Amino acid sequence: MTVAVQADQFPTSPTRLTLLKRVIPYLGMFLLALLVWLPFGFKTTGLIEEIGINQLSDAGYQNFFVTLDSPMSYVRTRPLQMFTFALAFALDHDSYTYYNILMMLFLFGNMVVAYWLVLQFLPGKKLLAFVTGVLYAIYPADTGLFALRTIHIHCAALAYLFAVYLLIQFIKLRSRWSYTALIGAMLLLAFSLLQYQIALAAALVTPVLLLYFTRPNRRFWIGTGLWYVAMLAVLLYSLWANGQLTIKSYESGLLPTQFSLNDIPLMLQALGMAYFRQISSWAAAFNKLAGFPLFGIYVIVGVAISASIGGYLIWRERRTNNIQPVSRQRYELLFIGAIAWFTIGIATYLPIPSHRVQDFRIFFLAMLASAFILALVLYLLSRIFRRYSTLLFLVFTLPFIGLAYMSAFEQQQGYVNYSVQQQNILQQTIAQAPQIKPHTAILMIDQTGVLDQEYVFFYGYYLSGLMQYLYEDSSIKSSYCLADNIPTVKSIRCSFDGSMLHMSYDIKENENYYGPVLNVPTDQLLIFMIEAGGRLKLLTAEQAAQAFQITGYDPQARIIGQKPPRRAATLFSCQPALSCYHVLPNTFQTTFELPENGDIGTGWRTTETDDNAGIFRWSVTPITSVNVDLSYGSDLSIDFKVLHWVEASVIDSLKLSLYGQDLPLTFEPTEDGGRIYHATIPSSFLVGQPSHAYLVFKVDKITPISDNVSLGFALNWLRIRPVSSEH
């Protein structure tokens, strides 16, 4: 079926007033995109890969196009993957400002292209198109919307959608500009696929969309043919680049080595979970209303802007007499097509076991279908009341827009929290060591676990990179260890031997993934202690000698000036950094229960079963830890049961600490011979601390029970609850 182009879509000589009327929806969309950054600013720093990419750009490497001899050659089959990262760095060498600006512009672009595409399929339905665009940009299903590491995926998805729009224009236009649109579509498609293949499956079936507008005529076959020519060119280049080096490309490592029929049920299950996520994410967004006191004013502004633009479009629609009616069959066709399009939108990820069940980045394209389905359902429901249908449609959509903004602000705040935790480390480092000698090694002894998080320097992996960027000295190295000789998430421990620092992996294979660790003389070290409250303390020579029995350590000899690094004035978003840290309320997470299966921390044996008491875990080191999340807003009560121990002296020496500070313990005996322990954490103790934390258990020793086995105590269960819930 063929749809006529709106009479006012391609005016020959628009007046200034007409142009202003056309700009108003786009101005509204721009303000709605800008609003998502308004509470946070544009200085949020990189968290993971973007740190390493900036480090390479700062060292003089060209990252706009990944060549075979590039340090990034493992992504050579996506040669434009680093394009947006390189562009952001080129626009500002001294901060991550343009990462944030580009992310905001891509969010705006998503609104615009969704608006345009809906108008191609439903001419004149500007309110429906506008709502779809807004919901698509901030749909709450994906947890990676505002992670700077996904900037290239946003760019690739947006480039593909603009390519689709231009391909449709080639079919619908009959002027000399139609072939310009086709060339633009080919270039944007290639740009998208050479950057990231999120749209690979969608690109394969895109020409089918053209049948909505035309029959399979000559123009259809020209557009389809050249569209696939662009895809073929990308495929040939990727195959060629992949074969030029013996190092396996990143994409090759992602794909399974073999595919069997057993994978089909797993893919279908993942697809079902993805569909369910599009619905359940609204329930999750509703539960984020606990954060309304923090973001409420911004949510209200977003809803008000949406209502204003929606009201304007309703007013315009009532003054327009040339809008064609849409048949029920067409709505049904588009509804079914959108459901199918969601599957196509995530199809690229379904064959990849490590990605198919994630909710991070895989919905960037598919959410357009989710947003359109939701908007269309609300639109059709509003038509039950014919006289006020458009006004009711706008009223129906505003709560969803408000919830989507609530979810967006909380997700942004989550990434900002990680960023300011990083900035806090950097700020306090340069405050105590403004200028340091080349080849200095900075060691963080972390008592709080802040560095043992994925989004804080990627478990410390990028700590050196950001230190080098800040000091503008590539010879500086930096790493961290947890206090009390607890292994890090990467299984790294620190030890000192007189005048040497030794770092080693408990799991030797980790060195192949994370790289070598520090082994340096103490006279090259600056040792910082990360204490409760995010405080960073540079250890004096006397303090380090007493704590670690080392010699040769002299921090003042490594500090050569008191003028802060140049980038200290441009890199940071807040002074002090933690003033921008806000704990996010979580109405779901009111308790913590020790899981029965899986890892719970370090220093524990695998679970065993007691017929009467259930499961338990033996401690096998004098210092053990339990990973907990302390995202609470009140005093906390910790209760745990010790079921067994080998020696009474061992259990009598038990101590519990959090963020490096001891928690007073009391206990009561149980009928089965165990003990139930109690402790309280005041809410003030959690202020400024990372939500992810470690409960550290210490005993004086563990008891050998055979040649190769030593045991301490058996932990039966552990729970954390707000004190108020126990009364």
Those residues whose C-beta lies under 8 Å from the C-beta of residue 62, and which sit 6 or more positions away, are: 70, 86
Residue 456 half-sphere exposure toward CB, CA atoms < 13 A: 23
pLDDT band of residue 8 (cuts 50, 70, 90) is very low
Burial of 583 (0-12, 13-18, 19+ CB in 10 A): buried
Rounded to two decimals, the pTM is 0.82
| DSSP SS3 for 124 | coil
Residue by residue, what is the 3-state secondary structure of 442-503? Answer: EEEEECCCCCCCCCCCCCCCCHHHHHHHHHCCCCCEEEEEEHHHCCCCCCEEEEEECCEEEE
- The average pLDDT across 352-361 equals 85
Is the separation of the CB atoms in 536 and 432 below 8 Å?
yes
Predicted pLDDT of residue 587? 42
Beta carbons of 542 and 528 less than 8 angstroms apart: no
* CA 350 – CA 333 distance, rounded (Å): 25
pLDDT at 611: 64
- pLDDT tens digit sequence for 423-433: 999 999 999 99
What is the average pLDDT across 401-416?
95
Q: Which residues pair with 677 in a beta bridge?
A: 640, 667
Q: Which two tokens stand for residue 433?
A: 């060591």
Which of 77-86, 209-218, 663-672, 685-694 is least confident?
685-694
Decide: helix, strand or coil at residue 477.
strand
pLDDT at position 674, please? 92
Q: Are the beta carbons of 578 and 534 closer than 8 angstroms?
A: yes
3-state helix, strand, coil in the chain (%, to 5): 50, 15, 35
pLDDT at residue 403, as a whole number: 97
What are residue 145's phi and psi, to 5 degrees? -55, -40
Decide: residue 424, CB within 10 A, 0-12 exposed, 13-18 middle, 19+ buried.
Answer: buried
- The single-letter code of the amino acid at 375 is A
3-state secondary structure of 68: coil
Please tell me the distance from the alpha carbon of residue 261 to that of residue 605, in angstroms, as a whole number.
37
Average of per-residue pLDDT across 171-189: 92
pLDDT at 447: 83
Across the chain, mean pLDDT equals: 89
Main-chain phi, psi angles of 628, to 5 degrees: -135, 160
Pairing of strands 477-482, 492-497: unpaired
pLDDT the model gives residue 4: 42
- Partners of 615 in the β-ladder: 609
The pLDDT-based confidence of 505 (bands split at 50, 70, 90) is confident
d(CA 314, CA 376): 16
- Distance, CA of 570 to CA of 591 (rounded, Å): 41
Q: Which residue has the higher pLDDT, 631 or 298?
A: 298
For the chain, percent of residues with pLDDT exceeding 90 = 63
Which DSSP string corresponds to 210-238? GGGT--S-HHHHHHHHHHHHHHHHHHHHH
Confidence of residue 321 (pLDDT cuts 50, 70, 90): low
Provide the terminal-to-terminal Cα distance of the chain, rounded to the nearest Å.
67
**Residue type, position 522, single letter:** T
- Whether residue 10 has pLDDT greater than 60: no
CA distance 483 to 673: 33
Residue 96 CB contacts under 8 Å (≥ 6 apart), including other chains: 43, 44, 45, 46, 50, 54, 88, 148, 571
**Which of 160-174, 235-249, 311-325 bottoms out in mean pLDDT, i.e. has the lowest?**
311-325
pLDDT of residue 690: 66
- Which segments of 433-454 does DSSP mark as H helices, in order? none
- Nearest residue to 80 (alpha-carbon basis) of 90, 67, 93, 92: 67
6 has a pLDDT exceeding 50: no
Q: Which residue is associated with the tokens 């369910």?
A: 276
Q: How far is CA 308 from CA 15, 262, 386, in A?
A: 23, 52, 22
State how far the alpha carbon of 292 is from the alpha carbons of 44, 107, 405, 588, in Å.
22, 23, 11, 15
Residue 206: predicted pLDDT: 96
Neighbours of 473 (CB within 10 A): 16
Residue, of 651 and 490, whose pLDDT is higher = 651
- CA distances in angstroms from 29 to 111, 129, 138, 161, listed in the order given: 7, 12, 12, 17
Task: Please say if the pLDDT value at position 359 is more than 90.
Answer: no
* Cα diameter, the chain: 92
Contact 157, 349 (CB under 8 A): no
Do the Cβ atoms of 590 and 436 come closer than 8 Å? no
CA distance 496 to 506: 16
Helix (H) or strand (E) holding 56: helix 49-58
Concatenated DSSP letters for 139-192?
Answer: -TT-TTTT-GGGHHHHHHHHHHHHHHHHHHHHHH--STHHHHHHHHHHHHHHHH
- Strand 559-561, strand 435-436: pairing: antiparallel
Q: What percent of the chain has pLDDT over 70?
A: 94
Question: pLDDT tens for residues 602-650?
Answer: 778 888 877 676 789 998 878 888 878 776 567 888 999 999 999 999 9
Radius of gyration of the chain (CA): 29
SS (H, E, C) 514-561: HCCCCEEEHHHEEEEEEEHHHEEEECCHHHHHHHHCCCCCCHHHHEEE
- Phi/psi region, residue 660 (left: phi>0; alpha: psi -120 to 50; beta: rest), is left
Q: Look at residues 372, 349, 375, 376 and name the one whose alpha carbon lies nearest to residue 362.
A: 349
Q: Which residues contact 175 (CB under 8 A, 6 or more apart)?
A: none
pLDDT of residue 589: 46
Joined together, the tokens standing for residue 606 give 């695998």
Residue 24 has pLDDT above 60, yes or no: yes
Q: Is the peptide bond before 576 cis (omega within 30 degrees of 0)?
A: yes
**658-697 pLDDT tens trace:** 877 889 999 999 988 899 999 998 877 777 666 667 788 9
Contacts of 457 (CB under 8 A, 6+ apart): 47, 51, 422, 451, 463, 466
Task: Report the C-alpha gap between 158 and 153 in whole angstroms.
Answer: 8
450, pLDDT greater than 90:
no
**What pLDDT, on a 0 to 100 scale, did the predictor assign at position 661?**
81
Q: Confidence class of residue 582 from pLDDT cuts 50, 70 and 90? A: confident
- Strand spans (E) along 2-129: none
